[in-house]
Structure 1
Amino acid sequence: MFSLSNKTAIVTGGASGIGLAIAKAFAQAGALVRIFDLNPEQAGLAAEGIRQEGGQATSHAVDVSDQAAVRALVDQLAAEGPIHILVNNAGVAHVGTVETTSEADFDRIFRINVKGVYNCLHTVIPHLKAAGGGVILNMASVAATLGLNDRFAYSMSKGAVLTMTLSVAKDYLKDKIRCNCISPARVHTPFVDGFLAKNYPGQEADMFERLSKTQPIGRMAEPQEVGALALFLCSDEAGFITGCDYPLDGGFTRLNT
């Protein structure tokens, strides 16, 4: 079950964290994974690690907010073979209210988290249509549907990802393109460790425990758990699923009181 043999998948932000976990899961399931990332060194190491484990992966340095660069790369890869799966995972976080969010910060969040997803959708969908269909998976967040403290710009961006997911799912039914999104709560990634080290030096363990317990299940998700759900949603076994948002949140959305 959940084989991606003979499939080619683009995973943006695939060099670390959730993106890397998705890339690894897809490669283990037989896919050729194209890792898109802003950091060429990390992307190269990620692809090499996958190849050393027997998978297929290539690395590609690209800024998803630059449509011309994304288009050139996608067209190049499509000329080498059909694209079957797109995972829009690349994104950045931000902490702040509407008052404390500067215009520069707002523009940056929009450029990467919203326009970056649009750019990849805009350039990849024609190739999915040419291949006779495919699967798109977007990375949203519980912030898309819940009011969270100090997450004004980030919530805005993930709300846009959720609604882009629904729009694409509706528009491309006839082209046999499925589109869903995953909305994680807190996931234990290198970003979390860096955030704690920067903002709570000497208190990392205590703050990690406090953040973990904001999920009713009592812990943060692990990246590979997101990877497992992504693999299912992009496999043929999920062929009847489109236009859905999957909260992977340890009960955060429905059970928090």
Structure 2
Amino acid sequence: MSTPELQGLRALVTGGASGIGAATARLLAARGAQVAVLDLDTTSLPAPLRGVNADLTDDASVRDAVADTAQQLGGLDILVNNAGIGAQGTVEDNDDAEWHRVFDVNVLGLVRASRAALPHLRRSAHAAIVNTCSIAATAGLPQRALYSASKGAVLSLTLAMAADHLREGIRVNCVNPGTADTPWIDRLLNAAEDPAAERAALEARQPTGRLVRADEVAAAIAYLASPAAASVTGASLAVDGGMQGLRPRPEQG
């Protein structure tokens, strides 16, 4: 029997209690890693995932959580910066407080987790950081000004971090999911006047004609986090059903 590809590695997934983060945490564990999940509420995590409660907007909370995780796991090899929140509207629609709130989680949360993890990652022979970015960073989407700005920052941060930590042996990459079938999208659809029509519109704008599954994004994250991707750093991997790069002709009626 072959050895699981992540056997012996230790991973921390932020925002890992639901959606893409939960799918990622489960997959990393299935591939042999010891996995801890950092989230506001980790009471419902399945074994063998370990939960650590922390608020990414509180630097002291994040530092303590990462230190405790590294101590429990005996080190840290992989950090998945997945936690994030959504926002709707044009540049006029969100007030300053909402801009600060979204950036505090989506950008500074990534910063806080990364700088807390770096001292531990520097001691790893297979150190990797994977950030969950978005199609919103590379394509203009309507009613997503604030969210797009925050994910554009994540994309730029990924490149800058990859350059900064290259010589330390720490790879930094990101995944850019298209519209994914997650609890956040469910809440968005439920709030729409016509949920079925809104879902159909979201599906139609992706060339594959369907939403991206959380497990598909998790598979991309697991690849970028693994030693199999040892020569991959500073990359953004689109998992979007062709939304960014393809321009298919409409089907003939």
> Which range, TM-score by smaller chain?
over 0.9
1:185 to 178, 186, 206: 178
Instruction: Supply the AA of the counterpart residue of 1:8.
Output: R
Q: Which of these residues, 230, 235, 241, is aligned with residue 221 of structure 2?
A: 230
- 2:251 aligned partner: none
2:28 corresponds to which of 4, 18, 26: 26
Structure 2 residue corresponding to 1:160, chosen from 153, 178, 181: 153
User: In the TM superposition, what are the counterparts of 1:105-116 in structure 2 within 5 Å?
Assistant: 105-116=98-109
Whole-angstrom distance in 2 between the partners of 1:74 and 1:175: 19
1:173 aligns with 2:166: yes
102-111 or 186-195: bigger deviation: 186-195
Amino acid at match of 2:190: A
Tell me, yes or no, if the aligned pair for 1:44 and 1:58 is still in contact at 8 Å. no
Contact 1:2 1:231 in 2 (8 A): no
- TM-score, with length taken from structure 1: 0.91
Q: CA deviation at 1:133?
A: 4.9
Q: How big is the shift at 1:103?
A: 0.6
Alignment correspondent of 2:231: 240
Alpha-carbon distance in structure 2 between the residues aligned to 1:253 and 1:60: 35
Cα distance in 1, alignment partners of residues 90 and 195 from structure 2: 24
What is the rounded CA distance, in whole Å, between the counterparts of 1:247 and 1:93 in structure 2? 19
SS at 2:94 equivalent: coil
Partner of 1:127: 120
Residues 1:7 and 2:9 aligned together: yes
Aligned mates of 1:26, 1:132 — CA distance in 2: 17
User: One-letter code of the match for 1:211?
Assistant: L
How far 1:178 sits from its partner (Å)? Answer: 0.4
Q: CA deviation at 1:2?
A: 6.4
Q: Is the 8 A contact 1:12 1:35 kept in 2?
A: yes
Q: Structure 2: how far apart are the matches of 1:254 and 1:228?
A: 20
Q: Unpaired segments of 5 or more residues in structure 1?
A: none
RMSD between aligned alpha carbons?
1.4
Equivalences for residues 136-155 of structure 1 within 5 A: 136-155=129-148
Give the deviation of 1:75 after TM superposition: 1.4
Structure 2, unaligned runs of 5 or more = 249-253
Q: 1:132–1:175: 8 Å Cα contact kept in structure 2?
A: no
Partner of 1:205: 196
8 Å Cα contact 1:2-1:237 kept in structure 2: no
- Is 1:94–1:109's contact at 8 Å kept on the other side of the alignment? yes
Residues 52 and 69 of structure 2 are in contact (CA less than 8 Å); yes or no, is this contact kept in structure 1? no
Q: In 2, Cα distance between the equivalents of 1:225 and 1:117? A: 22
Percentage of pairs with the same residue: 39
Q: Which of 47, 51, 72 matches 1:59?
A: 51
Per the alignment, do residues 150 and 2 of structure 1 end up closer, same or farther by CA in structure 2, a change over 3 Å counting? farther
How many residue pairs are counted as aligned between the two chains? 245
